[in-house]
Structures are given as C-alpha cells and as structure tokens.
Amino acid sequence: MERLTPSFRFEEDELLLKKMKEEFLACPAAVKYIRSLHIPEELIDEEIVKIYDFVQDLNFCKKCPGVYECNKQTPRLCTKIIYEDGVVSRVLVPCKEYLKMVKFKGQFVVRDFEDDWLTSDLKRLDRTNERLEVIQKYKNFVDGTNDEWIFIMGEAGTGRTFVAANLAIDIAKREKGPIAFIDAPSRFKELMSKKDNDAFNELLQRYIDVPVLIIDDLGNEYKSDFVRESILFPILNNRAKQHKFTIITSDFNISDIATMYLTGPASKPKIEQIKRLLKKVCGKEINLGDLSVY
C-alpha cells in the first residue's frame, strides 16, 4: 500500500496550536467563560481549535458594526462552546444584539414607515423649538405625568412623519408597546375593503386596543359618512375613554380635519364632537411649519 504523505509538517502544526492557545489566554472574556465551564486543562489543549474559533468570534463581535451591518460569514450568529458529559462542542447561537433587535421589532404590530428609520435615535433629532415641544409632551407620557395625545402638523417635507417615527422607535426601545404606526390613507382603505363584519371589527379593535397608536397623515384618507362614523370616531373616542396614548400627524389642523368630514347638516353634531374630543385629548396642535428639513 502506498504511504500517504502529510500536507504539513508536525512542527508547523504544533506552532499553530500553540499560537491558538496563546490567543485564547490573551482574551480575558474567553478565559473567564471557558473556565466557568470547568473544562480540564488537557481537554482545553485537545479542543483548542474549537475554542480558538470561539475566541476569534468573540474578538470580532467586540468591534460590532451593528446588527444590520454585520459582515461575518455567519451574520448575526455567534460561536458558543458547550461542555457536557466530557465533550466539548461548538455551536452557533443568535447574537444578543440580534435578539434585542427581534424583541424591539416585535413591539410593532403595524409599522408603516421604512426599515432605514429603525436605526434613528430620538437624541439625534433636530432640536427646533417645535420639535422640543413635541419631545417635552412625549417625556410627560414616558414619565407618567400626563397622558395627553400629541398632534403634529406640518406640510410635506417638514419631517412630521419622521418625528413621529422617532417617538415610536423610542417607545419600542423602552418596551412600552405594543405599537401600531398606521398610515391613515392606506389603513382606513384596508378597513373599508373588509367585506366580512368580523374581519372589519377585529382589525378596528386592534387599533382601538393597542397601547400606543400613531395615526400618520390623517386628513388625506378617503372621507365619507362610513369612514367618519365607523372608523375615525370609534378609534378616537374609545382610545380617549381608555386613556390610551395616541400620536397624530397631519397636513391639517384639528378644525380643518373636522370640517373635511362635514357631509351635510345632519353630520354637524358629530363633526363638533370629533373636534371637541381632539381638542380635549391633544390640547393644541404642534406646527412644524412649512420649512423642508428632511
């Protein structure tokens, strides 16, 4: 039988294993974890290749570029060493930052804004007087000192949706959800399309019951008696009764929105009721103006 020739010299292999052991010992976090498993020293030497993979992964994650930017061969997965029944095993587990992200995104039952905004931070929001006013009202909600709603108005380009999204993101980080961030034109249309009463009521009830609701772009939805009586008013009225935190963004002020739902003399009492309700729960509108910022 022909004798097989090794592809590397024994001495070179020994030097490589020695270097792996040295790098392991030079990583305090790895040493602490491996020692906590009570792996015998001789077994550490035998399984140093597996442990070295763990060390490399640990050192890579120390310089984490962010969950979305992870460029590892196994993105958002980390190497973990397990020691059971005298056997050292190497497994892949979801990284902590990824699990945090999953938990964070799970705060949203509906999210009608783009993924790119999820990395935004309220602390980096442009600090104009109007935005500071929004943030102060929001802090009152966070502190539990006031459950008044926030009505953000401003023309397209003033960043009203972006500001509201930043508030929603901060709420999610604080785990004060679940949150529904809905685009009024598309979500009201979706409700109108429900042919089955049970499906309609179930979806409507979701928006009524969710702890935090952001109604974005209110006033630009299709308007009718049905939308006013069966969608808009029930959501606003029931949430106000239950003291559920709500944020509204719009091109229009409260009076404008109420007037746009006027369909005839018979609708005036309901229009006035909607107007009074919004004035009561929101106080005054916070106008971001017409300056294009975003």
Q: Tell how strand 108-111 and strand 286-287 pair up.
A: unpaired
Burial class (CB in 10 A: 0-12, 13-18, 19+), 161: buried
Domain assignment present for 201: yes
CATH of the domain at 185: 3.40.50.300
Q: Are residues 64 and 141 in the same domain?
A: no
The position carrying tokens 């002020």 is 253
Q: 134-157, pLDDT tens digit by residue?
A: 999 999 999 888 889 999 998 878
The position carrying tokens 């959501």 is 235
Q: 20-73, pLDDT tens digit by residue?
A: 999 999 999 999 999 999 999 999 999 999 999 999 989 888 888 877 778 888
pLDDT of residue 243: 93
CA distances in angstroms from 177 to 41, 114, 146, 173, listed in the order given: 48, 19, 17, 9
pLDDT of residue 228: 94
Q: Which of 98, 133, 164 is the last residue of a domain?
A: 98
Q: Are residues 38 and 164 in the same domain?
A: no
Domain extent for 22: 11-98
pLDDT of residue 290: 61
Q: pTM of this prediction?
A: 0.79
Which residues neighbour 73 within 8 Å (Cβ) at sequence distance 6 or greater?
A: none
Tokens for 66, please give them: 């962010």
